[in-house]
Structure 1
Amino acid sequence: MIINVGHVATEKFDTTGVSACNNQQSTSVDLSSCIINAASECTVFVRTIIKKSDSYDAMQIDRLKIDTQEKYDALNLQREHHKKFLQTIKANSFDRAMAERPENPISLS
């Protein structure tokens, strides 16, 4: 039972988490943040399942941990990709703002 829940939590993440983010977010920055948060929530959920799996024998727990670690690694790669994506967007926005700033800005004081 717990193994099935763990698999469902990680395998369904791509379809449910990402599609929910796509439906709710209006900008690429919001979308990336949403996906990063959803990946984190999925990871916490799966770790909680592993901690509560005392009733399973060692082989089942080891298999679940290996499967979960593989899914976690995949989510981590996706999270890192989105972090880099956000950094690129922020850097490009800053570069654009610096290029478009006025030659002689008006003093506010």
Structure 2
Amino acid sequence: MVRFTAALGIALVVLGVGAYALTSAVSVTALTPAFVGIPLLACAALARPATRRRPALAAALAVALLGALGSSMNAIRIGEAIAGTAQRPAAVWVSAVMFVLLVAYLVLGGRALVRSRATSAG
């Protein structure tokens, strides 16, 4: 799960920097995925030692939850982006990608956290 957290963090940083560059650096909000990816990378680095793994991954899940909630507002407008009626289609697409990645991470990370508790308790 540590590698997956790091990979997700890198993917979000690339997504944010790419969105910022592709939108001609008009708005700093295009970097929002990077602002979520950097703390995920920090959590992955903290989770390397086994003694810190569970709390660091729990923190990563909290960051992912906040990021998913924040990106959901634009991700809901994906229909408008597909129809071509969205005011800021790039923001909608980036938010939708970020939302999907973070929700997938929450599902997988939550399952891994529950599984690790079950094995350490039993």
Do both proteins adopt the same fold according to a TM-score greater than 0.5, normalized to the shorter chain?
A: yes
1:21 matched to 2:46? The reply is no
Aligned pairs, number: 85
SS in 2 for 1:11: helix
Equivalent positions of 1:16-55 (< 5 A) are 16-22=38-44, 27-47=52-72, 50=74
Unaligned runs of 5+ in 2: 1-25, 75-84
Q: What SS does the aligned partner of 2:88 have? A: helix
Whether contact under 8 Å (2:61, 2:109) holds in the other structure is: yes
Is 1:36–1:82's contact at 8 Å kept on the other side of the alignment? Answer: yes
Greater relative contact order (Cα < 8 A, sep 6+): 1
State the Cα RMSD in Å: 2.7
For normalisation by structure 1, the TM-score amounts to: 0.60
Q: Pick the structure with greater CA Rg.
A: 1
Contact 2:54/2:113 (CA < 8 Å) preserved in 1? yes
Structure 1, residues 8-58: CA drift from partner, whole Å, max 9, x if none? 1113422x112332466652211221111111222333356x4xxxxxxx4
- Give the TM-score normalised by structure 2: 0.54
Structure 2 counterpart SS, 1:27: helix
Contact 1:32 1:83 in 2 (8 A): no
Pair 1:10 & 2:10 matched: no
